[in-house]
């Protein structure tokens, strides 16, 4: 298939659904790791079209949602320093930290700017040589290469006022942590498509090999996801877990070697603080010592006036792990709405609560 319409063919979708409904006999619970998949599954109404004994659960694959309150508190503290410009992708501005959001500190006078790429942040640094520009680096393996490239570009151009607050996370360790915790029983995993285009599908081989669970890497169109579910159903019915790739037009087994190389040049593996999960070793990316001059944590004294605290009643931490759904949260759609988000899962365009609210909130 060459054109987007072909990946949304209603006839092909019906054929896949007929197969899935005939083939599937065993109860199954599949987790879509990626927030992009969660939104696509809701948008196309796929949950309602699957057999009732197949349950779909959302996972931790939304970079805004998994950013911990403690890390957000550090960013807020940085935004209050004199002569500092904070640059961030838009979603993060509305996420509440312990006491305020970036949007609220901007209203109080902090210089917080929305950017659409690291190139925008570099340009702001060039135009403001007397200010210190801090880019808030969140995301998974998908965004880390572009941020690594910005650090190399800043070094090569002699930009001495550009810094990165690295809150990057890498995905296989958190999948392991969720499976090891055993808090939710799973039959299979829909592995992230965009992340896998960087890491390669080989990064997920441990799921069938060590945990004996079905898994498949999926794209984001309706047929991509249905084909992925078909693969998972086949694996469950045949009791033959394996790694399938239903997104081969973008994902290679070895991944994007050029992107991985630039990540390795700039970043070291380090612990990371995940919302709802805590600090996981070997699950984050920090700048290598040779790039310390661009590391915000090493160049600014970050003082927190009070310990970090979670918003009472917010279940985002549990929703990320797949142990609760938004419909189990007392705040969902009452106190917490897209206009007044209490937690990040309602803020992010890839957030599970936002997807439930816009596409499935009334089903409960």
CA dihedral defined by 233, 239, 243, 248, rounded to 10 degrees? -40
Q: What percent of the chain has pLDDT over 90?
A: 91
Return the closest-CA partner of residue 146 out of 181, 116, 182. Answer: 116
DSSP annotation of 360: I
| 363 — pLDDT class (breaks 50, 70, 90) | very low
Separation in Å, CA 299 to CA 74, 124, 220, 278: 13, 19, 40, 25
Phi, psi (5° rounding) for residue 266?
-100, -35
Domain 3-62+171-245 and domain 65-170+255-298, same fold? Reply is: yes
Provide the pLDDT for residue 187. Answer: 97
Domain extents in the chain: 3-62+171-245, 65-170+255-298, 311-359
**Whether residue 10 has pLDDT greater than 90:** no
The strand pair at 111-114 and 132-137 is best described as unpaired
- For 65-170+255-298, the fitting CATH number among 3.40.50.11740, 3.60.20.10, 3.90.1150.10, 3.30.70.260 is 3.40.50.11740
Q: What is the mean pLDDT of residues 180-198?
A: 95
3-class DSSP assignment, residue 91: helix
Alpha helices in the chain (DSSP H): 10-23, 35-43, 46-49, 63-66, 69-79, 102-107, 118-127, 144-156, 171-181, 193-199, 206-211, 222-238, 257-266, 296-299, 316-321, 344-347, 352-355
pLDDT digits (tens, 9 = 90+) for 78-93: 999 999 999 999 889 9
Q: What is the mean pLDDT of residues 237-262?
A: 96
Contacts of 188 (CB under 8 A, 6+ apart): 28, 30, 31, 213, 214, 215, 216, 232, 235, 236, 241
Beta bridge partners of 243: 215
3-class DSSP assignment, residue 287: strand
Provide the pLDDT for residue 285. Answer: 98
Task: Judge whether 208 and 243 are in contact, CB under 8 Å.
Answer: yes
Return the closest-CA partner of residue 285 out of 35, 63, 85. Answer: 63
Return the ∠ at Cα 193 (arms to 188 and 199), rounded to 5°: 100
**Whether residue 355 has pLDDT greater than 90:** yes
Provide the pLDDT for residue 90. Answer: 86
Provide the pLDDT for residue 6. Answer: 77
Provide the pLDDT for residue 230. Answer: 97
Provide the pLDDT for residue 354. Answer: 94
Q: What is the mean pLDDT of residues 54-62?
A: 94
Provide the pLDDT for residue 287. Answer: 98
Q: Which two tokens stand for residue 258?
A: 């050029």
Provide the pLDDT for residue 101. Answer: 95
pTM over 0.75: yes
3-class DSSP assignment, residue 140: coil
Q: What is the mean pLDDT of residues 99-114?
A: 96
**Distance separating alpha carbons of residues 326 and 352, to the nearest angstrom:** 7
Phi, psi (5° rounding) for residue 295?
-90, 115
| 50 — pLDDT class (breaks 50, 70, 90) | very high
Provide the pLDDT for residue 3. Answer: 64
Q: Which two tokens stand for residue 101?
A: 């959001």
pLDDT digits (tens, 9 = 90+) for 284-343: 999 999 999 999 999 999 988 888 998 899 999 999 999 999 999 999 999 999 999 999
**Whether residue 1 has pLDDT greater than 90:** no
**Whether residue 364 has pLDDT greater than 50:** no
Q: What is the mean pLDDT of residues 172-182?
A: 96
Q: Which two tokens stand for residue 34?
A: 């990626």
Q: Write down the CATH superfamily of domain 3-62+171-245.
A: HypD, alpha/beta domain 1 (3.40.50.11750)
Average pLDDT value for the chain: 94
Separation in Å, CA 266 to CA 74, 145, 290: 22, 9, 8
Provide the pLDDT for residue 70. Answer: 95
Element (H, E) at 28: strand 28-34
């Amino acid at each position: 298939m060459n054109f987007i319409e072909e990946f949304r063919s209603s006839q092909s979708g019906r054929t896949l659904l007929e197969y899935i409904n005939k083939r599937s006999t065993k109860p199954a619970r599949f987790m879509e790791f990626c927030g992009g998949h969660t939104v696509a599954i809701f948008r196309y109404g796929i949950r309602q079209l699957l057999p009732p004994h197949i349950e779909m659960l959302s996972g931790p694959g939304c970079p805004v949602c998994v950013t911990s309150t403690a890390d957000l508190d550090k960013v807020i503290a940085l935004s209050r320093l004199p002569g500092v410009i904070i640059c961030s992708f838009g979603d993060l501005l509305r996420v509440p930290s312990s006491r305020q959001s970036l949007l609220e500190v901007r209203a109080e006078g902090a210089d917080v700017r929305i950017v659409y790429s690291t190139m925008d942040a570099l340009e702001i640094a060039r135009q403001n040589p007397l200010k210190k520009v801090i880019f808030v680096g969140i995301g998974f393996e998908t965004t880390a290469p572009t941020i690594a490239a910005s650090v190399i570009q800043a070094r090569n151009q002699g930009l001495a006022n550009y810094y990165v607050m690295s809150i990057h996370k890498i995905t296989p360790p958190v999948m392991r942590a969720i499976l090891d915790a055993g808090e939710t029983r799973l039959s299979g995993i829909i592995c992230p498509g965009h992340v896998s285009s960087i890491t390669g599908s080989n990064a997920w081989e441990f799921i069938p090999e060590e945990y004996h669970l079905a898994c498949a890497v999926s794209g984001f169109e309706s047929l991509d996801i249905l084909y992925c579910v078909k693969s998972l159903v086949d694996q469950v019915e045949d009791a033959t877990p394996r790694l399938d790739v239903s997104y081969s037009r973008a994902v290679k087994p070895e991944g994007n070697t050029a992107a991985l190389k630039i990540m390795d040049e700039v970043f070291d593996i380090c612990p990371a603080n995940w919302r709802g999960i805590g600090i996981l070793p070997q699950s984050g990316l920090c700048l290598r010592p040779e790039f310390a001059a661009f590391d915000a944590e090493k160049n600014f004294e970050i003082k927190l006036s009070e310990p970090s605290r979670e918003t009472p009643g917010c279940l985002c931490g549990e929703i990320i792990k797949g142990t609760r759904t938004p419909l189990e949260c007392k705040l969902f759609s009452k106190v917490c709405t897209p206009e007044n988000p209490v937690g990040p899962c309602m803020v992010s365009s890839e957030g599970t609560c936002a997807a439930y609210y816009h596409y499935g909130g009334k089903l409960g």
